[in-house]
């Protein structure tokens, strides 16, 4: 008894310890795991916003925004010929009720054009209460998931309130939460009973050793009786006939059934929003200072607009580096992915209309490291990409350029 006591006591202690330890739910979606050059130079998200972050089961929430498909698409990533705008959720805690690309509703995958500009909107409906970290993101065929900016959503209410009904083309109203379930269970039970009957028919008599010995003794004919054969013949004929009859009944019941739909949606990009030709920006050189966690971008700005412009923001992989010198221009205080004074210029004076100027931009912030963007210098494709936002304060206009350049690391 004493010998047994200690292991049992230890086991009890272990169980106690395990019971008080909390196991946190994983809420990340690997958004920092994808190689930086893919995050920076494929889908370039901007102006993404949620209609609300707190709502109840059965209430709708929408996320809308814009993205630019980078011209400098990495050679190692397949072109976005089949892409799917998805929502990262821990299971269907929300359902997707509507989705629009450039104002058009779409349900399948879509082919995107590098250099194209798109705006999107996804409408979701709360299904299960809880607090969830949610991103819009693109599944890119053969490339992976490129995350958009994430937020925390709080869904309140009672899961029992959730309703999801729709009308088929024949006018039948169906409840998606239970449609076909009872029917499926019925047929599984139906065939399950037949299978169980056949198994029990054989299991009720001595099985392995007895049958093996009889077979070994040449008593094969004793093992399969005439009754067994009669039942087997009935099953052999009856089951296929039953299957075909039930199939015919179902086919008659749903004469308008159609195959699963597998089309690819074709939606043209919007007129150019990024690299629209009014203010042209060309990246000349990029250096990354590892110790200072600072990216030095040398760009050539050609202002062909009617007003003076100033560089206000550099955005890459959902991190926004803001120019603190520009008041009231796109500052988003309090957001995790915004560096409010992460961007500074060697010359902050406005770039006059018609002026061409080479500007050195320093983008300095710990976000390079915390967002795992500094891994770029160890990638096989170490080109940086991102969106540069320029503002015309007087005219109230914004110009966006998608820039890219090879990055040279500086270790001292």
Residue 36 near residue 372 (C-beta atoms within 8 A): yes
Residue 114 near residue 70 (C-beta atoms within 8 A): yes
Q: State the minimum distance, in angstroms, from the CB of residue 279 to another protein.
A: 35
In the bound state with another protein, the residue whose beta carbon lies nearer, of 47 and 177, is 177
Q: State the minimum distance, in angstroms, from the CB of residue 160 to another protein.
A: 14
In the bound state with another protein, the residue whose beta carbon lies nearer, of 239 and 395, is 239
**Structure letter (DSSP) for residue 219:** -
Q: Residue 353 and residue 234: Cα distance in Å, rounded? A: 91
In the bound state with another protein, the residue whose beta carbon lies nearer, of 133 and 397, is 133
Provide DSSP, 314-326: EEETTEEEEETTS
Residue 137 near residue 88 (C-beta atoms within 8 A): yes
- Contacts of residue 160, Cβ cutoff 8 Å, sequence gap at least 6: none
Residue 408 near residue 283 (C-beta atoms within 8 A): no
In the bound state with another protein, the residue whose beta carbon lies nearer, of 130 and 330, is 130
Q: Where are the beta strands (DSSP E) in 70-177?
A: 83-88, 94-101, 104-105, 109-110, 117-126, 130-140, 144-147, 151-156, 165-167, 173-175
Q: State the minimum distance, in angstroms, from the CB of residue 81 to another protein.
A: 9
Q: Position of tokens 């890119």?
A: 140
Residue among 296, 322, 309, 281 at smallest CA distance from 390: 309
In the bound state with another protein, the residue whose beta carbon lies nearer, of 61 and 367, is 61
Q: Residue 60 and residue 163: Cα distance in Å, rounded? A: 12
State phi, psi for 206 to the nearest 5 degrees. Answer: -55, 140
In the bound state with another protein, the residue whose beta carbon lies nearer, of 212 and 394, is 212
Beta bridge partners of 168: none
In the bound state with another protein, the residue whose beta carbon lies nearer, of 178 and 412, is 178
Q: State the minimum distance, in angstroms, from the CB of residue 309 to another protein.
A: 39
Q: State the minimum distance, in angstroms, from the CB of residue 112 to another protein.
A: 12
Q: State the minimum distance, in angstroms, from the CB of residue 18 to another protein.
A: 19
Question: Which token pair is 233?
Answer: 């013949």
Q: Helices in 359-401 by DSSP H: which ranges?
A: 367-370
Q: How many other β-carbons are positioned within 10 Å of the β-carbon of residue 284?
A: 13
Q: State the minimum distance, in angstroms, from the CB of residue 90 to another protein.
A: 8
Question: Which token pair is 242?
Answer: 């039953």
In the bound state with another protein, the residue whose beta carbon lies nearer, of 93 and 308, is 93
Residue 72 near residue 42 (C-beta atoms within 8 A): no
In the bound state with another protein, the residue whose beta carbon lies nearer, of 13 and 223, is 223
Q: State the minimum distance, in angstroms, from the CB of residue 187 to another protein.
A: 5
Q: State the minimum distance, in angstroms, from the CB of residue 403 to another protein.
A: 29
Q: Residue 203 and residue 210: Cα distance in Å, rounded? A: 12
């Amino acid at each position: 008894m004493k010998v047994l006591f200690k292991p049992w006591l230890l086991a009890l202690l272990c169980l106690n310890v395990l019971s008080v330890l909390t196991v946190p739910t994983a809420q990340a979606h690997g958004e920092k795991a994808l190689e930086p050059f893919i995050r920076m130079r494929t889908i370039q998200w901007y102006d993404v916003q949620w209609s609300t972050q707190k709502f109840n089961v059965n209430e709708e929430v929408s996320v809308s925004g814009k993205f630019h498909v980078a011209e400098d698409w990495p050679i190692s990533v397949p072109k976005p010929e089949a892409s799917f705008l998805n929502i990262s959720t821990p299971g269907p805690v929300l359902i997707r009720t509507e989705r629009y690309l450039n104002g058009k509703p779409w349900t399948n995958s879509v082919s995107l054009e590098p250099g194209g500009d798109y705006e999107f909107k996804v409408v979701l409906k709360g299904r299960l209460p809880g607090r969830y970290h949610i991103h819009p993101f693109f599944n890119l065929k053969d490339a992976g998931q490129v995350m958009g900016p994430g937020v925390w959503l709080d869904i309140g209410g009672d899961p029992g309130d959730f309703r999801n009904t729709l009308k088929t083309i024949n006018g039948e109203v169906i409840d998606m939460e239970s449609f076909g379930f009872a029917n499926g269970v019925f047929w599984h039970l139906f065939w399950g009973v037949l299978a169980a009957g056949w198994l029990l028919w054989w299991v009720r008599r001595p099985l392995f050793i007895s049958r093996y010995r009889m077979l070994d003794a040449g008593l094969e004919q004793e093992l399969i009786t005439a009754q067994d054969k009669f039942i087997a013949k009935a099953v052999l004929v009856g089951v296929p006939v039953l299957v075909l009859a039930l199939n015919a009944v179902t086919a008659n019941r749903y004469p308008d059934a159609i195959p699963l739909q597998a089309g690819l949606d074709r939606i043209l990009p919007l007129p150019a929003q990024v690299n629209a030709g009014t203010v042209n920006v060309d990246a000349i050189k990029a250096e990354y200072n590892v110790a200072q966690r600072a990216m030095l971008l040398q760009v050539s700005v050609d202002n062909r607009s009617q007003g003076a412009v100033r560089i206000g923001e550099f955005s890459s992989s959902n991190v926004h580096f803001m120019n603190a010198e520009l008041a009231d221009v796109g500052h988003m205080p309090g957001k995790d992915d915004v560096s409010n004074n992460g961007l500074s210029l060697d010359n902050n004076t406005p770039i006059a209309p018609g002026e061409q100027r080479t500007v050195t931009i320093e983008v300095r912030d710990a976000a390079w490291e915390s967002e795992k963007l500094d891994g770029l210098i160890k990638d096989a494709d170490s080109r940086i990409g991102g969106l540069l936002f320029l503002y015309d304060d007087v005219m109230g206009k914004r110009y966006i350029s998608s820039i890219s350049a090879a990055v040279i690391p500086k270790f001292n």
